[in-house]
Amino acid sequence: MALQRNLSFIMIMISFVACYNEDLLSSIVEDSPYIYDGVTFKDFIKQIVDPALSLESKLGGLSPTSAKTFNVDDYGAQGDGKTDDTQAFKKVWEAACSSKKSVLVVAEKNYLLKPFTFSGPCKSNTITVQISGSLVASDNPSDYNQDPTHWLMFDSVQKLTVKGGGAIDGNGNIWWQNSCKKNKKLPCKNAPTALTLYKCNNLVVEDLTIKNGQQIHLQFQDSSNVRVSGLNVTAPEDSPNTDGIHVTNTENIRISSSFVGTGDDCISIVDGSKNLQATDITCGPGHGISIGSLGEDGSKQFVSGITVKGAKFSGTTNGVRIKTWQGGSGSASNIKFQNIQMKNVSNPIIIDQNYCDQESPCQEQKSAVEIRNVLYQNIKGTSASDVAMEFNCSKNSPCQGIVLQNIDLQLEGGGEAKASCNNVKLSYKGNVKPRCSKYIEEVNEDGGFGSTYI
């Protein structure tokens, strides 16, 4: 009887704590101040919630029904790295997707695959893809004639988990060699994204290596409630357009404890992305973590609620960057860059509202994507260039609400770095180095003195 009472009490507490999901907490404590050591009230609650949910799962969770296992080898896959195993994957996916609760197992072999979409919706309440081996992309461009922009895609699969310690290998060398960025004489064409998660809600991606992407390595598109952790995303530093993790039109996404080193952005966050947290990210080589580009060809685009916390950048061309084209509209707002280390980074902090990625000069435009409410807090390290901090903002729509708190950036090898600031309204808190050369003091809302560049 005592054991039964204790178990009942535990389950009641689990139910109570589990009710405080992260979305609800976000609405309650979004603006809670950070404690000195970086722990928020939200983090404190999460420390209670996560162990409770873990205990719930150990006790059996809400559904005691065991999952059915589907092994790709049982459906004809060879896994020798030479034989095309695409048809075997189609068969095993049809079976797994039709089961109520399923686990698709990819053994510790090398499976050669042509472009393939894991299509939903599935009958399964939950579905897990357990990748222990390697999925290797066909490097024959003719295999991609039907869809030249995707290799592997999960489309409209809900409550999906992709994990297992294995690798997804885009085998991208042939695309890199034929890129216009490698050979100026060639026309610019799109290359396949290695792995795309499209319209997948309540999604988990963890414990995977994704390497040598033909172009983007991992893309989250039109999805929500996404958890990403334990990824190792790699490509050569000179591989063109090989973004590590690309997020577009996706809400409520958490990316944590991952290493990304590629030839382009470690993480790129573009239109429609909202409520994204990236924590404990190691970035390098690559182009840093970028919000944008936004507003190309006069488009109206929005990004909001972005937090990058606890990142490390080493040898990257940029650190934390926001980039927008002239002539666009919309906004990038409510953004936090916190507790970040820079080592030999060419542009540690940069906002470019006049971004122009084309050979001919971009004509000056009157409209711009608004950039407002951006916090840079506890950022330290070294810059590979003289200008460690650059705000190149629009004359017609200056950057607003830019806050710099506890910044210490110096030149690699010693010496003072510089700041370049144009058309930006900013305030300083704590010790900030470098600083803009021209500013006036103003009274902040809390009664303290800050500064605004003029």
Domain count, the chain: 3
Query: What CATH number is associated with residue 94?
Result: 2.160.20.10
Whether residue 342 lies inside any domain: the answer is: yes
Q: What is the pLDDT of residue 375?
A: 98
Whether residue 256 lies inside any domain: the answer is: no
**Last residue within a domain, chosen from 37, 58, 79:** 58
Whether residue 260 lies inside any domain: the answer is: no
**Pair 222, 245: CB distance under 8 Å:** no
Looking at the fold, whether 308 and 385 belong to one and the same domain comes out as: yes
The first and second tokens of residue 250, run together, are 């996706």
How far CA 107 is from CA of 68, 78, 86, 134, 377, in Å, comes to 16, 10, 15, 8, 44
Looking at the fold, whether 49 and 103 belong to one and the same domain comes out as: no
Looking at the fold, whether 108 and 84 belong to one and the same domain comes out as: yes
Looking at the fold, whether 200 and 280 belong to one and the same domain comes out as: no
Looking at the fold, whether 227 and 367 belong to one and the same domain comes out as: no
Interatomic CA distance for residues 109 and 9, integer angstroms:
46
**Residue of 150, 217, 246, 287 marked active site:** 287
Interatomic CA distance for residues 210 and 213, integer angstroms:
7
What type of residue sits at position 9?
A: F
Looking at the fold, whether 321 and 342 belong to one and the same domain comes out as: yes
**Last residue within a domain, chosen from 238, 273, 307:** 238
Q: State the helix-helix crossing angle for 41-58 and 22-29, rounded to 10 degrees.
A: 170
Q: What is the pLDDT of residue 159?
A: 97
Contacts of 424 (CB under 8 A, 6+ apart): 351, 391, 393, 398, 399, 402, 436, 453
Whether residue 244 lies inside any domain: the answer is: no
Whether residue 79 lies inside any domain: the answer is: yes
Whether residue 387 lies inside any domain: the answer is: yes
Looking at the fold, whether 99 and 6 belong to one and the same domain comes out as: no
Whether residue 340 lies inside any domain: the answer is: yes
DSSP 8-state secondary structure symbol assigned to residue 21: -
What type of residue sits at position 341?
A: Q
Which residue matches tokens 């937090």?
307
Whether residue 74 lies inside any domain: the answer is: yes
Interatomic CA distance for residues 418 and 433, integer angstroms:
8
- Number of Cβ atoms within 10 Å of the Cβ of 288: 27
**Pair 194, 218: CB distance under 8 Å:** yes
The first and second tokens of residue 419, run together, are 């700041």
The first and second tokens of residue 201, run together, are 């809600």
User: Is residue 287 flagged as an active site residue?
Assistant: yes
Interatomic CA distance for residues 8 and 14, integer angstroms:
10
Looking at the fold, whether 139 and 14 belong to one and the same domain comes out as: no
**Local confidence pLDDT in tens for the 454 residues of the chain:** 554 444 444 444 444 444 434 443 333 333 333 333 344 434 433 443 344 333 333 333 334 358 999 999 999 999 999 999 999 999 999 999 999 999 999 999 999 999 999 999 999 889 999 999 999 999 999 999 999 999 999 999 999 999 999 999 999 999 999 999 999 889 999 999 999 999 999 999 999 999 999 999 999 999 999 999 999 999 999 999 999 999 999 999 999 999 999 999 999 999 999 999 999 999 999 999 999 999 999 999 999 999 999 999 999 999 999 999 999 999 999 999 999 999 999 999 999 999 998 878 888 888 999 999 999 999 999 999 999 999 999 999 999 999 999 999 999 999 999 999 999 999 999 999 999 875 433 334 444 434 444 3
Looking at the fold, whether 19 and 149 belong to one and the same domain comes out as: no
Q: How many CA atoms lie less than 13 Å away from 226 in the CB half-sphere? A: 31
**Last residue within a domain, chosen from 58, 83, 98:** 58
Q: Which domain holds residue 47?
A: 2-58
Looking at the fold, whether 291 and 439 belong to one and the same domain comes out as: yes
Interatomic CA distance for residues 333 and 307, integer angstroms:
11
Looking at the fold, whether 46 and 170 belong to one and the same domain comes out as: no
Looking at the fold, whether 20 and 124 belong to one and the same domain comes out as: no
How would you write 364-378 as a 3-class SS string? CCCCECEEEEEEEEE
